[in-house]
Amino acid sequence: MKLFYVACVAAIAFVACEDKSSLSSTADGDGGPVKIGFLVSGDRITYPNGAKIAVDEVNERGGLLGRSVELVTRMNIEEAAVAVQAAETMILTDEVVALVGPNRSSHAIEVGAVAQRHSVPMITTAATNPAVTAAGDFVFMAAFTDQFQGRVMAQFAKEALGVNAVAVLTQRGEVYTEGIAEFFTDHFSGFGGEIVADEFYESGATDFAEQLARIAEAAPEAVFLSGLPPEVALVTKQARALPLQNAAGEPTLFLGADAWDNPTLLDNEEAAVDGSFFSSHFSPDTDEPSARTFIDAYQALYGIAPTGGDAVSYDAVRLLLEAAERAGSLDADAIRQQLLATEQYAGATRIAGYNENRHPTKSAVIMTIENGAKKFYQQVDP
């Protein structure tokens, strides 16, 4: 998996160097709306909700630099090539001043190369693989990295749950799923834990009998399941039917990452995820004043609590708007410099600042699932 990660980074570097021409942003004073491209991968249909709240807030205050802000949104992107084409169209035809998203790491890596080539600021939303910023200095993340997230879950499993033997089951072919599984594995081993089984499945798989049988032979105390909601629901259902147990004959725990923070998993009656733990970007139960403002606005508008992905979608747009306000200009390089200078940002989540790779320093939360609903368990600070 390390070779897969390195290959991604090398490919990005090549593409990013291919064309360093810079497009002129829409003139600061032409009076038209300031357009921001917003890309959504997969079925994350609520992510624009968070972004729209950030736009509404700035427009209610008179806009950005005296101009209204408008989102140019592309939804339900399933292929990286489609995300790339959407980004090109947003930049060349829609004349967006920046890109926000996408949320899928494999898509964000390739879109980042487009943003860098055109010198357009870009902030990813829920994409977490560290390679998403590898294209260059115009690409930033609003979410924590999988390096941090993997360490959080590994340390939580070993120290808080007292787990010593873990199996890992990973979806192949996704930068995100392979990356977070590798980071979890490395950290868990570093904390003195043992990986007793390391299994894989393909995207779209529906039968996990062979993998689960081999995992069952190892009788792990927990399974770190690095996958996307459709397969996670099927794996957990089949594992409980087996039943998958530890050496003491007790049900094996399931552990996950931020992809689990999705209504399509939590609302799936077939998913057997009660008692599981997963990491996420934020909790709607937080008492943080800035986060409560976002949560209250979101619930008033949409009647439901926001997910972690909704929160970082809000933050990504707001980070961009605040950087432009500090810059006093829509100049791309000025915005980029102000993003890099971000300190003590407080929105739906908090960002202390950015490192040289444009990865944010921020907290994660761990959620548990009870009666089909997620519940805040603890916060983990960097």
Q: Which residues contact 6 (CB under 8 A, 6 or more apart)?
A: none
pLDDT at 28: 52
Domains and CATH numbers, the chain: 8-144+287-351 (3.40.50.2300), 147-280+366-380 (3.40.50.2300)
| pLDDT tens track for 78-109 | 999 999 999 999 999 999 999 999 999 999 99
The answer to whether the CB of 234 falls within 8 A of the CB of 203 is no
How big is the CA angle at 263 (ends 260 and 269), to the nearest 5 degrees? Answer: 95
pLDDT at 22: 37
Tokens 């949320």 label which residue?
103
Distances (CA, A) of 72 to 36, 51, 99, 139, 381: 6, 11, 9, 19, 34
The answer to whether the CB of 346 falls within 8 A of the CB of 42 is no
pLDDT at 30: 63
Q: Which residues of the chain have pLDDT under 50?
A: 1-27
> DSSP characters for 288-299?
-HHHHHHHHHHH
| pLDDT tens track for 149-193 | 999 999 999 999 999 999 999 999 999 999 999 999 999 999 999
Length of the chain: 382
Sort residue 174 into left (φ over 0), alpha (ψ -120 to 50) or beta: beta
